[in-house]
Amino acid sequence: MENLRDELSMNLQEVLLDAAPALDCRSRERLAAGIEALIGENHDLAVRAARAELERDALLAAVGRQGFVCDADGEVITAGPGEEDRIAGALLGRRGASLRYPGGEPVPPGDLPGCRALRGERLASCRYTVHDPGEEDRYVVVSASPIVMGGAVSGAAVTWQDVTGEEQTRRRLSEANTLLEGLFDNLGDIVGIQYPDRTMLRYNRAGYEMLGMTPEEVKGRKCYELIGRTAPCTVCATAHAVVSRKREVVEKFVPEFGRYLECRSSPILDENGEVAFIVEQLYDVTDRKRAEDELRESEATARALLNAPSEMIILLDRTGRLIEVNETATRRFARSREDLIGRSLFEFFPPDEAAVYVARLGEVVASGRPARFEDAWEGRFYDVILYPAADERGNVVRVAAVARDVTGKKRGEDALRKRTHDLNERVKELSVLYEVSRIIERHSKSSLDEIFREVVRVLPSGWEFPENAVARITVQGRRFATEHFEETPWRQASPIVVLGETVGMVEVCYLHERPERDEGPFLAEERALLDIVAGRLGGTIERFQAWDSLEKSESQFREIMQQSFDMIYTCYKEGGIAYISPAVTRILGYTPDEVLGRKCRDFIVPASLSAWEEGRKKIARGEPVEGLEVEFYRKDGSVAFLELNESPIVRDRSVIGVHVVGRDVTERKQNEQLRQHAFEQIERNIEQFAILGDHIRQPLQVILGMSELLDEEMATGKIREQVARINGYIAELDRGWIESRQVREFLRRYDLA
């Protein structure tokens, strides 16, 4: 600016020297003063502009932004403090760095912030990514505004702020929040967050599943309202935590869930030390509570057993002398307590059994470990435990003998083993039935021989001794047998019956003798299994025969439809004509392929549409239509009369289409029209006969009367002769009129007209 001012001053002085001859001294002074004033004002403007640039740089630095100003051609005029070449280059589309949208898509050159501002757009805090290969991506917030002078955009101002640190922090925070949210939602226990007044904010997934509610249904409601209560729980951990400002734990039974819950309420305090939120954790302790109850019951039971035990309990010394017995032992030995104490246990057993007990007692005393064994005494079974009791030095001084009568258990185990064996047999039988069903289903559309081969293969596995069983199926002279089949005395057979007639046999044989059962070596259940398999095979044969008959019937039906003289077609509401017989070519001139998929309405003559629509209404109600006469267009444009008999197609109680049989009655309709024309002609003839007779008779009578007045006999005779001749014609007309009337009456009587 200073240079500009000096340059202007020199130029102005040169102008004054050039103009000096033309100006007087006063004018030159005034002009010089004005020029000096202008130069001084220009200097002030330069100083203010420099100050504005400094203030702009300070302001941009204060808000953490950088920027530049470009002219209308996009060239940078000025740039703010601390210009970052990498970011500025990306914003200007220079260097190797590129500007990208947050989604990763590159920003086209024409959509750079400066270019958009030069087009008159204003951008406020738009986020971009500065990508430079080999460098870490930078994240910037960009604003851009057009500079308008004289109503036109003369430049653009672009500012940006590097928010890379903020973006990375935000992303790390988002990842942390996502992780915390996932951990919170996937906690196995129920966790809820509520206000101190028990208003719920949210639960984790386990909480929503327990309540059977959605987050929207839970938020804003009191915790006790969620389980159907109108008031808080009598014992509430949240209420205690609000008062104490520390974690409170409460156990209680919640009848709405039928469970015991341990409620842990942990307060979250604000900066003032007040409770802002409560984190409530619910643990299902029902199993633990029930286990505790069961433990208490067990302890009570144990105490009761000590007072009145059902087992024999005997306390022995090291030599086997009885020190103490319970009432059960006294009853079992049939002696009083006083009579038993002090005696040796071995006195009550035979010598060989007593020797065994002496050896067992010696082992327990020597080893210090308990011994358990089963023993039989007087027809009953006992589970016996010898438990050693040691003194403070570890020497066994006492042995407790506990004998439990397990006779019922032993018998139950025997019965259970038998029942298990029986159940295993039933499982084998059911497996055979299941496998037979699978074979029949798998080969339902193949051959019977495949079914018989596979069934006979799996059949022996359903018998008690499958390794010794063989099977054979005989059907209508065909035999299917397992390997090494041999008919033996140990044989079980069942007939295969089809439609009341025996057509074959199913046989199972044991190759070697087996223990006697319900039916020889066979069980009654095996007989039932064999009968069921034979019945299934008979039913399968019947089904195959039915399928053969059905296929033949369908073939014959298709042949009848193909050869039918009438036009037969099926039409659905949605798909149009689905099938039409070849007769359509003879009747309407179309081939079946030309008609398929089209609507029936397309072929109806407009004059017949009303009658056809009435038929559609009846069909829609599920009613059949008979004798409906409708005119159809032929392919050549002519008209054919068809008499339609229609029946609805009903599926799931809804009419979905119609079956139609259409007979060509065009010739009959034409004959009816000809007959009607003939009858109308007869009517006209009868009327004309009557009129003609009346019109001729009257003039003839006048002519005949006038001929009588003539004197010429010849002329009169001639006239009489012609009158008689004409009367003869009229008589013939009368006879024709009568015959015409008789014909008309005949036609009317028999509905021919």
What's the pLDDT score for residue 453? 83
Mean pLDDT of 694-723: 65
Whether residue 433 contacts residue 446, with contact meaning beta carbons closer than 8 Å, is answered with no
What's the pLDDT score for residue 632? 92
Residues 650 and 735 in one domain: no
Amino acid at the residue 749: R
Residues 84 and 156 in one domain: yes
pLDDT in tens, 341-398: 888 888 888 888 888 888 888 888 888 888 888 887 777 888 888 888 888 788 888 8
Whether residue 156 contacts residue 145, with contact meaning beta carbons closer than 8 Å, is answered with yes
Q: What is the CATH number of the domain that holds 323?
A: 3.30.450.20
The tally of domains found in the chain comes to 7
Residues 652 and 714 in one domain: no
What's the pLDDT score for residue 566? 83
Assigned domain for 175 exists: no
Domain termination site, one of 661, 682, 706:
661
Assigned domain for 148 exists: yes
Residues 166 and 208 in one domain: no
* DSSP secondary structure code for residue 320 in this structure: S
Find the helix or strand (DSSP H, E) in which 91 lies.
helix 85-92
pLDDT at 688 over 50: yes
Assigned domain for 55 exists: no
pLDDT in tens, 75-84: 777 766 544 5
Residues 425 and 528 in one domain: yes
Tell which residue, 140, 67, 144, 129, has the closest CA to residue 98: 129
Residues 379 and 461 in one domain: no
For residue 599, the enclosing domain spans 564-661
pLDDT in tens, 110-169: 888 888 888 888 988 898 988 887 778 888 889 898 988 877 888 888 888 888 888 888
Residues 657 and 681 in one domain: no
Assigned domain for 76 exists: yes
What's the pLDDT score for residue 234? 85
Residues 319 and 295 in one domain: no
3-state helix, strand, coil in the chain (%, to 5): 50, 25, 25
User: Which of 11-25, 184-198, 407-421, 697-711 is predicted least confidently?
Assistant: 11-25
The more confidently predicted of residues 681 and 619 is 619
Residues 26 and 90 in one domain: no
pLDDT at 2 over 60: no
Residues 619 and 690 in one domain: no
Amino acid at the residue 590: Y
pLDDT at 262 over 50: yes
User: Which of 281-290, 504-513, 744-753 is predicted least confidently?
Assistant: 744-753
Task: State what percent of residues in the chain have pLDDT above 70.
Answer: 74
What's the pLDDT score for residue 509? 93
Mean pLDDT of 85-89: 76
Instruction: Grade residue 305 by pLDDT with cuts at 50, 70 and 90.
Output: low
Residues 89 and 115 in one domain: yes
Assigned domain for 543 exists: no
Residues 36 and 135 in one domain: no
pLDDT at 481 over 60: yes
What's the pLDDT score for residue 176? 73
Mean pLDDT of 323-342: 82
Assigned domain for 188 exists: no
Q: What is the CATH number of the domain that holds 145?
A: 3.30.450
pLDDT in tens, 233-260: 888 888 888 899 899 998 888 888 888 8
What's the pLDDT score for residue 701? 65
What b-and-e string marks burial along 577-613, b requiring 16 or more CB atoms within 10 Å of the CB?
Answer: beebbebbbebbebeeeebeeeebeebbeeebeeebe
Mean pLDDT across the chain: 78
pLDDT at 459 over 80: yes
Task: State what percent of residues in the chain have pLDDT above 90.
Answer: 3
Assigned domain for 61 exists: no
Assigned domain for 164 exists: yes
Find the helix or strand (DSSP H, E) in which 131 lies.
strand 123-131
What's the pLDDT score for residue 186? 75
How far is CA 563 from its chain centroid? 47
pLDDT at 693 over 60: no
Mean pLDDT of 441-467: 80
User: Which of 36-45, 70-79, 227-236, 354-363 is predicted least confidently?
Assistant: 36-45
Angle CA 222–223–229, to nearest 5:
85
Helix (H, G, I), strand (E, B) or coil at 197: coil
Domain termination site, one of 603, 635, 661:
661
What's the pLDDT score for residue 746? 57
Q: Is 461 exposed, middle or buried (0-12, 13-18, 19+ CB in 10 A)?
A: middle
